[in-house]
Amino acid sequence: MGGTHSSEPEPYPALRVRALESLLIEKGLLSSDVVDKLVAVYEHDVGPMNGARVVARAWVDPAYRQRLLADGTAAIAELGFGGRGGGDKMVVVENTPTVHNLVVCTLCSCYPWPVLGLP
């Protein structure tokens, strides 16, 4: 017998998402192409790999590191990240031998998901 079959029901949130997507497409408010493009953005353009690129660049490029500490928003934008909700105003701090920073986030609307990924 070909293919895969599962007797497990689809999780409720997945069913709701599929129903909402189908309804929006049926009403002409959304197309499957738009959904596919949005999913691709979240899969490839948003996430913690962006923050890792920023940090790696700061490690190997002292001039970039200084720009990052002076104006995090502008320096991060140099790499093409920011905006799109969260990331509009980025403040960058660094740990030193005598100062260790702890960042506490409440996951509000200012969460920098373009750089850190979805919470």
Span 5-63, pLDDT tens digits? 667 888 888 899 899 999 999 999 999 999 899 888 888 888 889 999 999 999 999 99
Residue 97 lies in domain: 48-116
pLDDT of residue 113: 79
Q: List C-alpha distances in Å: 8 to 2, 12, 17, 45, 79.
A: 18, 12, 18, 32, 43
The reply to whether 112 falls in a domain is yes
Mean pLDDT score of the chain: 86
- Whole-model pTM? 0.67
Cα(91)–Cα(37) distance, rounded to whole angstroms?
A: 30
CA dihedral 59, 64, 67, 69 (to 10 degrees): -10
Read off the pLDDT of residues 88-108 as tens digits, 9 standing for 90 and up: 788 899 999 999 999 887 777
Question: Which residues form the catalytic set?
Answer: 105, 108-110
The predicted model gives 114-118 an average pLDDT of 80
Tally of structural domains, the chain = 2
Looking at the structure, tell me whether residues 40 and 71 fall in a common domain: no
* Residues 116/87, Cβ–Cβ less than 8 Å: no
